[in-house]
Amino acid sequence: MRILIHGGFFSESSQSNETKLLKQKVLLDILEKSKVYLQSNNAVATSIFATAMLEDSPLFNAGTGSQIQQDGKIRMSAAIMDGTSLKFSGVINVEDIQNPVFVAQRLMKEDDRVLGGEGATKYAAKEGFPLFSTETEERKKEYLSKKESNGTGTVGCVVLDRQGKLAAATSTGGKGFEIPGRVSDSATIAGNFANQNCAVSCTGVGEDIVSSGLATKIVTRVTDGFSLTEAFKKSFDELKPYDGFAGAIGVSKNGDVFFSESHPKIVYACFDGENNTVFV
């Protein structure tokens, strides 16, 4: 069994040591709870469970604490991919929902499994999800002062369960101050992808991740015979011509785990089957 979670990028220059330690604590707490959950649940359920807890922490840019767009509204995106069934579901620019990943989960039962904007928000309401404001005082202050937020980031999780099944889940509150209607990578197969061989979740600048098809590219290379490390290295090398800003976590069917970043520092925690590791 393996679990990796990430919380986006951390800015050493802009965040206090207290914040750094708090992020470490939160990541390890979520990792421990997810390990317990995985004992009696599969990869898909565990990826959703961990991502929802990350969404509920205002330390990260997903769910509570999401960024605010140019028009003063918060629009969030999230996706899940089941590596066994190869089903992908997601919401793009959904509003007024506590946990976008739960709406993505509900969409797994639908024929139309990726919804955006007003359609996604209406679907969530129809399915009984209560209205919820994810705005925090800190994000509001940043918006009013026209300051970009520092050290928050997209969240995600990849899991290998005891049956050898894989899954990935990713959630984001956007980049902040974006043009309303912008689509991030998180609810696309560029930012979140899994099959029977590998699962990957990305963070960073969505446009750069989409340009490279990063998550799908890594998973495809593992499927074609690359080791997980080789797949990450080649895929990240291909970001260099345009200085692509990205980070990713991945796990393969044989239990290999890996993370990489084109710019420091991705915030992540990992259970490799024996030990916990946290990097902030």
- The residue type at 153: G
Q: What CA–CA distance (Å, rounded) separates 219 from 217? A: 6
Please indicate whether residue 154 is annotated as part of the active site.
Answer: yes
Q: What CA–CA distance (Å, rounded) separates 143 from 93? A: 18
Per DSSP (E only), the strands in the chain are 2-9, 76-82, 88-94, 114-116, 155-160, 166-172, 192-194, 198-204, 246-252, 257-261, 266-271, 276-279
Q: What CA–CA distance (Å, rounded) separates 169 from 151? A: 21
Closest CA to 156 of 252, 10, 268: 268
2 forms beta bridges with 160
199 forms beta bridges with 194, 251
Which contacts of 220-224 are long-range, i.e. CB under 8 A and separated by 24 or more positions?
222/197, 222/198, 222/250, 222/252, 223/195, 223/197, 223/198
Cβ count within 10 A of residue 197: 19
Q: What CA–CA distance (Å, rounded) separates 209 from 137? A: 30
Residue the block writes with tokens 């969530």: 124
Closest CA to 193 of 148, 249, 140: 249
Active-site option among 154, 172, 188, 203: 154
Q: How is residue 91 written in tokens?
A: 């919401």
| Catalytic center residues | 154
